Amino acid sequence: MSRMPTKLTRAQEFRLRLAQALKDSGITQSALARGIGADRSTLSQALSDTGTRLPGAHVIGACASVLGVSSDWLLGLSDRPETAADLLSNSFEVSHAPRALVDEQIFEWHREAAGYKIRHVPATLPDMLKTEEMLTWEYGPHLGRTAKQAINASQDRLNWMREAGSEYEIALPLYEIDCFIRATGYYAGLPVAIRRAQTDQLIALTEQLYPRLRIYQFDARRLYSAPVTIFGPLLAVFYTGGHYMAFRDRRRIETFTSDFDTLVREARYTAREFPTLLTEMRQMIR
């Protein structure tokens, strides 16, 4: 059981951290004194005092502001020296999402989370489970003449993701598979041969890779989810169409993980049922 800090240990911690922040920042005592609007003697006393006395709150706050650290860190109340604004900035980022199979940013997040459970609500069928013909049909119009080269390059990354040792839980809305099978909505115009081959691949992979790969289907009329990938306890990334919004703070990741787990818990079809469902629906492909 950890002991509560005494006034003396709190004061000692403050002096050590203030000295460390001064050293790390390269700011002199004189410059800091000018920056906080105090006499140099006041600052010298704060650094050299061996008793329990601490400077006033306004002095501690001013020191923290000039040195670019948080008051809580100076006082030993936090192990993170960043200010609240910096912590918030580091916990959230927005990055460009190019129209590609596996862009560099997504691949880097997968490598960072290798070995963790990855929870995923894709915008369409999961890219890592698609046939080459399906990828060409879907991404060809956006990649132009480089479609073949881009798909070949991305296949290596897709294969790495399949073999990285991560456990995948994927949640799909019911309408996604139905639209794919019937070639409606997003999949309008998708040739019969591609749909049959893609269905066969989904059946084979979900049987071969179970339980490391589990796909569930939820009713979007009861539950909704934006496209999101949760990389273990590390980060949660939402796909907005043109950008990714990535969250790294623990509480938000736990909230989004709980939302995803609700999709799995209340799924209309479980991962064990998914291959059988696809086998039955395959007869509808015309």
pTM over 0.75: no
Q: Is 89 exposed, middle or buried (0-12, 13-18, 19+ CB in 10 A)?
A: exposed
Task: Give the number of other Cβ atoms within 10 Å of residue 135's Cβ.
Answer: 21
The whole-number pLDDT of residue 254 equals 93
Q: pLDDT value at position 1?
A: 42
Q: What pLDDT was estimated at residue 87?
A: 47
Total residues belonging to the chain = 286
**Maximal CA-CA distance, the chain:** 86
Q: What is the pLDDT of residue 128?
A: 84
Give the residue carrying structure tokens 């623990």.
250
- Would you state the pLDDT for residue 106? 84
Amino acid at the residue 234: L
- Mean pLDDT score of the chain, rounded to an integer? 86
- Residues in the chain with pLDDT < 70? 1-5, 80-90, 99-102, 143-147, 150, 153-154
Question: Is the CA virtual torsion 266, 267, 269, 271 positive or negative?
Answer: negative
> Quick one: three-class SS letters along 108-160?
HHHHHCCCCEEEEECCCCCHHHCCHHHHHHHHHHHHHHHHHHHHHHHHHHHHH
